[in-house]
Chain A
Amino acid sequence: GAVVSQHPSWVICKSGTSVKIECRSLDFQATTMFWYRQFPKQSLMLMATSNEGSKATYEQGVEKDKFLINHASLTLSTLTVTSAHPEDSSFYICKLNTEAFFGQGTRLTVV
């Protein structure tokens, strides 16, 4: 069964608004979660590492003020895309640090 639940599966938002994506660990206490991004027709790239109780660490080129990560509990990490623009349209997917399984992913479309 699924060990990672990601919500929502897809979302459409207007340019300039913010969108929150949740990644929930169902069976494990995850002190670390990973957020990846996949642009259309491209591979997956790590965006950031979410650490429970501390600040996330971001990969080079990822704006930390735009992609806010909160990991307030051992089972939930959230990614908020702030002031979204069409170029942020992508597939966002999370992963625990305890399994090889990924969440179902969230397809974000900014119009």
Chain B
Amino acid sequence: AQSVTQPDIHITVSEGASLELRCNYSYGATPYLFWYVQSPGQGLQLLLKYFSGDTLVQGIKGFEAEFKRSQSSFNLRKPSVHWSDAAEYFCAVTGDSWGKFQFGAGTQVVVTP
């Protein structure tokens, strides 16, 4: 069965500092991987996705993620966070490109001045 683990429930980062959110997955075949962001009371916004090809994926809002098959990881990074990046971030995996998604527990990001 597929599963997603986001080890960090909560991360606090200073504005302007770099951010890295961890995501580990378990899936038998090549997974399709996604990162979403959710602001309080809002829906999900797709940041980026990985299907195949270049393992470094660029997304919106200055985010990028790197797929590492050997580590079963798909970590999200941003070189310099802005206060508006404070939100909940979810990693998701599916076995077919647009099918049922399995979500991680989420990581709450707090940005301090």
Does B28 sit at the interface, judged by CB under 8 A?
no
Interfacial chain B residues near A71, Cβ < 8 Å? none
Contact of A43 among B42, B46, B90 (CB under 8 A): B90
Closest residue of A by beta carbon distance from B49: A100
A44 located at the interface, meaning its Cβ lies under 8 Å from any Cβ of chain B in the complex: yes
A97 at interface (Cβ–Cβ under 8 A)? yes
State which size class the interface on A falls in: 20 to 34
A95 vs B100: C-alpha distance in the bound complex, in angstroms?
Answer: 9
Taking CB atoms, residues of chain A closer than 8 Å to B105 are 42-43
Inter-chain CA distance A3–B36, complex, in Å, is 16
The answer to whether A43 touches B49 (Cβ under 8 A) is no
Q: Knowing A43-B105, A43-B106, A44-B103 touch, does A93 contact B98 (C-beta < 8 A)?
A: no
**Cα-based distance from A95 to B103 in the complex (angstroms):** 14
Which of A12-20, A73-81, A101-109 lies on the face that meets chain B?
A101-109
> Which residues of A58-111 have CB atoms within 8 Å of chain B's CB atoms?
93, 95-105, 107
Question: Chain A: interface secondary structure?
Answer: strand
In contact, B98 and A105 (Cβ under 8 angstroms): no
CB 8 Å contact bits of A12-39 with B (1 = contact, 0 = none): 0000000000000000000000101000
Q: Once bound together, how far apart are the Cα atoms of A36 and B102, in whole Å? A: 10
Contact in complex: B90, A44 (CB < 8 Å)? yes
Q: Is the CB of B98 within 8 A of A97?
A: yes
Residue from B41, B43, B100, B102 with most neighbouring chain A CB atoms (10 Å): B43
State whether the Cβ of B101 lies closer than 8 Å to any Cβ in chain A.
yes
The contact sample of 21 A-B pairs, CB cut-off 8 A, is A34-B100, A34-B101, A36-B101, A42-B105, A43-B105, A43-B106, A44-B44, A44-B101, A93-B43, A93-B44, A95-B101, A96-B98, A97-B98, A98-B98, A100-B46, A100-B98, A102-B43, A103-B43, A105-B42, A105-B43, A107-B41
Leading 5 A-B pairs by shortest Cβ distance = A105-B43, A104-B43, A102-B44, A44-B103, A43-B103
| Residues of A in contact with B (beta carbons under 8 Å apart) | 6, 34, 36, 42-46, 49, 93, 95-105, 107
Given A44-B103, A93-B43, A99-B98, 11 more contacts at CB 8 Å? A34-B100, A43-B90, A46-B101, A49-B100, A100-B34, A100-B49, A100-B98, A103-B43, A104-B42, A104-B43, A105-B43
